[in-house]
């Protein structure tokens, strides 16, 4: 039997209304990765697990780049895309072999039409439910706010924003009773809900702080409602972050008869957000967990594959042996791990990155590289991370 080489799989669920740019975003992300224009691809290859899916995304990207043609959206189509991130062939021939040195990203695309329209037939309602069940393994959910619609509603942005968040709330509530068997809340559920401004190139004067302030000013109440609705799905809702993280995204610069795919915003942050943001939240949450051993076990287990980055092999082995009730042990191990996570800033992460590069430690080099991208996103006011 072929051994599984996946050291860490991260899933991200992307929500946005029809026309918000999900297909363009994903196509640009993959096309730039193939052309080694995405941050980190000088060290690793990012490839679609399903070659047919990858070819369609690449075709979309080339259509934008060479013909200024936008990809056709697949109405009501729900698709998950899996990508592997692995060391380039032949790179560092003397590197230590690691049976689990491959990373994987699974990108769930939830149809925007499902937030805006009722099911037309019972079969469609079932499909919506099954699609949502498929993305429950995601740690991060990204809600796209359409920059074009903000422009269209300039001066009265709350009209669009309230509609967007209300539609998401309504759809979640419709799914809730069918997802929660015997009203038992879920341990596995997206616990980090990040707000993303898509088509950010249309609002060049808007930095991420201004985007955050716009949402809080115009729809602060609706964001609180969204947090309450999402909290009603999960066991231990205090281990939840909704509307505390913000990012600007632009797939390209769009002009009449010209699409400049090299002029993007935020696409280099998608992998780092998916891989690293949960680490900064899950460790402190698990550390303070007092009641739910299942949730603490899930949180610690989600970051255990990356523990060599945060601490040491000894600590990684401790995590692997965590007994029940896990909360007690997590409270013992947690402070050290949490401190290590917060140390991944500035010169410290750069030092770890340089050391990993010298040792040809692919996983640590890649993950510290992701952390450096997040820090750079903060500095450039493209990313705004909430505090734990």
DSSP secondary structure, 203-221, as one string: -TT--HHHHHHHHHHHHHH
β-strand pairing of 102-110 with 253-255: unpaired
pLDDT of 295 reads 81
Q: Average pLDDT of 47-74?
A: 89
Enclosing H/E stretch for 381: none
Pick from 98-112, 126-140, 187-201: least confident: 98-112
Pick from 152-156, 243-247, 313-317: least confident: 313-317
Q: In the chain, what percentage of residues exceed pLDDT 90?
A: 46
Pick from 17-21, 129-133, 242-246, 285-289: least confident: 285-289
Q: Helix (H, G, I), strand (E, B), or coil: what is residue 254? A: strand
pLDDT digits (tens, 9 = 90+) for 335-344: 444 445 545 5
Contact yes or no for 173/167 (Cβ under 8 A)? no
Pick from 149-153, 240-244, 322-326: least confident: 322-326
In order, the DSSP letters of 347-360 are HHHHHHHHHHHHTT
Q: In the chain, what percentage of residues exceed pLDDT 70?
A: 80
Contact yes or no for 241/180 (Cβ under 8 A)? no
Distance of CA 281 to the CA centre of its chain: 13
Q: Average pLDDT of 79-104?
A: 74
- Angle at CA of residue 107, ends 271 and 98, nearest 5°: 55
Instruction: List Cβ<8 Å contacts ≥24 apart for 322-329.
Output: 322/297, 324/293, 324/297, 325/293, 326/286, 326/289, 326/293, 326/296, 326/297, 326/300, 327/289, 327/290, 327/291, 327/292, 327/293, 327/296
> Average pLDDT over the chain, rounded to whole?
83
The pLDDT of residue 192 is above 90: yes
Q: Average pLDDT of 171-175?
A: 90
Q: Helix (H, G, I), strand (E, B), or coil: what is residue 369? A: helix
The pLDDT of residue 99 is above 80: no
pLDDT of 120 reads 75
pLDDT digits (tens, 9 = 90+) for 208-243: 999 999 999 999 999 999 999 999 999 889 889 999
Burial class (CB in 10 A: 0-12, 13-18, 19+), 190: buried
What's the number of CA atoms in the CB half-sphere (13 Å) around residue 276? 26
pLDDT of 168 reads 93
pLDDT digits (tens, 9 = 90+) for 339-376: 455 455 566 788 888 888 888 888 888 888 999 999 99
Contact yes or no for 319/294 (Cβ under 8 A)? no
Count Cβ neighbours within 10 Å for each residue of 171-182 and write b for 16 or more, e otherwise. Answer: bbeebeeeeeee
pLDDT of 273 reads 95
Contact yes or no for 177/216 (Cβ under 8 A)? no
Q: Average pLDDT of 121-146?
A: 89
Q: Average pLDDT of 62-66?
A: 93
The CATH code belonging to domain 6-275 is: 3.40.50
pLDDT of 346 reads 63
Of 101 and 215, the structure prediction assigns the larger pLDDT to 215
User: What tokens were used for 193?
Assistant: 């809900």
Question: Distance (Å, rounded) from C-alpha 195 to C-alpha 144?
Answer: 6
The neighbouring-strand residues paired with 14 are 109, 142
Contact yes or no for 112/19 (Cβ under 8 A)? yes
Confidence of residue 315 (pLDDT cuts 50, 70, 90): very low
Q: CB under 8 Å to 117, separation ≥6 — which residues? A: none
């Amino acid at each position: 039997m072929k051994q599984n080489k996946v050291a860490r799989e991260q899933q991200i669920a992307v929500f946005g209304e029809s026309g918000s740019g999900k297909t363009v975003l994903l196509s640009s992300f993959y096309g730039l990765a193939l052309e080694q224009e995405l941050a980190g691809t000088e060290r690793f290859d990012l490839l679609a697990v399903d070659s047919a899916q990858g070819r369609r995304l690449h075709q979309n990207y080339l259509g934008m780049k060479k013909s200024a043609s936008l990809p056709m959206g697949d109405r009501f189509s729900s698709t998950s895309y899996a990508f592997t991130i692995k060391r380039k062939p032949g790179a560092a021939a003397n590197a230590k072999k690691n049976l689990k040195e491959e990373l994987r990203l699974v990108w769930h695309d939830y149809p925007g039409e499902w937030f805006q329209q009722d099911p037309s037939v019972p079969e469609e309602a079932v499909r919506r439910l099954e699609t949502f069940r498929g993305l429950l393994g995601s740690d991060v959910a990204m809600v796209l706010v359409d920059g074009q619609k903000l422009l269209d509603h300039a001066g009265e942005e709350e009209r669009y924003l309230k509609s967007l968040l209300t539609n998401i709330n309504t759809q979640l509530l419709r799914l809730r009773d069918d997802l929660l068997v015997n009203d038992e809340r879920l341990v596995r559920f997206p616990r980090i809900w990040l707000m993303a401004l898509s088509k950010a190139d249309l609002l060049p004067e808007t930095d991420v702080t201004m985007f955050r302030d716009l949402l809080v000013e115009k729809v602060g109440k609706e964001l609180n409602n969204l947090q309450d609705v999402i909290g009603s799905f999960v066991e231990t809702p205090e281990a939840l972050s909704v509307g505390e993280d913000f990012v600007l995204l632009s797939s390209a610069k769009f002009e009449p008869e010209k699409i400049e795919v090299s002029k993007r915003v935020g696409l280099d942050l998608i992998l780092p957000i998916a891989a690293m943001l949960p680490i900064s939240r899950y460790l402190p949450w698990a550390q303070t967990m007092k009641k739910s051993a299942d949730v603490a076990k899930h949180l610690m287990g989600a970051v255990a594959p990356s523990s060599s980055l945060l601490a040491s092999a000894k600590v990684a082995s401790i995590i692997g042996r965590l007994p029940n009730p896990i909360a007690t042990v997590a409270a013992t191990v947690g402070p050290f791990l949490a401190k290590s996570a917060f140390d991944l800033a500035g010169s410290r992460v750069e030092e770890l990155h340089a050391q990993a590069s010298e040792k040809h430690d692919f996983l640590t080099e890649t993950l510290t590289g992701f952390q450096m991208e997040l820090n750079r996103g903060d500095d450039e006011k493209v990313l705004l991370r909430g505090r734990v």
